[in-house]
Structure 1
Amino acid sequence: MNVILASVIFIVSYLLIMTDKMNRAVIALFGGTLLLLTGIYTTEEVFINYIDWNTIGLLFAMMVLISITEKTGLFTYIAIRFAQKVRGNPIPLLIGASVLTAIGSALLDNVTTVLIFVPIMLKITKLLNLPSFPYLLAIIFSSNIGGTATLIGDPPNIMIGQAVEHFNFLSFLIHLAPLALIIFLAMIFTIVFLFKNKLQKNKTNEQELLHIDASTYLRKTPMLYKSVCVLGLTITGFLFHSFLHIELTAIALAGAVLLLLLTEKEVSTEHIFEKVEWVTLFFFIGLFTLVGGLQEVGIIDELARAIIVSTDGDFSKTAILILWVSGIFSGVVDNIPFVAAMIPVIQEFQSYGMVYLDPIWWSLALGACLGGNATLIGASANVVVAGLAEGAKERIPFIRFLLYGIPFVLFSLLISTIYIIFRYLIPYAGQAL
Structure 2
Amino acid sequence: MNFTQALLEAIESLNGNKMRSGLTVLGIVIGVAAVIAMLAVGNGAQASITGSISSIGTNLLFVFRGSADGPPGGPGSGGSGNNDRPLTLSDAEAIADPLAAPSVDLVAPAIQGNGTITFSGENTTTTISGVTPGYAPVRNLELAEGEFINEEHILGRMSVVVLGPETAIAIFGHSDGIVGETIRIEGQPFRIIGVLVAKGGGAFGSEDNSAYIPFTTAQARLIKRSSLDEIDVLFVQATTAESVPQAADEISNILRQRHRTPIGDDDFTVFTQQDFLQTFETITGVLTIFLGGIAGISLLVGGIGIMNIMLVSVTERTREIGLRKALGARKKDILLQFLTESSLLSLIGGIIGVMFGWLIAFTVGQVATATGNNFVPIVGTDAILLSTSFSAVIGLFFGIYPASRAANLEPVEALRYE
Q: Does TM-score exceed 0.5, indicating one fold? A: no
Query: For the superposition of Structure 1 and Structure 2, which TM-score range results when normalised by the shorter chain?
Result: under 0.3
Structure with the larger helix share: 1
Greater relative CO (CA pairs within 8 A, separation 6+): 2
Q: Which has the larger radius of gyration?
A: 2
Structure with the larger strand share: 2
* TM-score, normalization by structure 2: 0.27
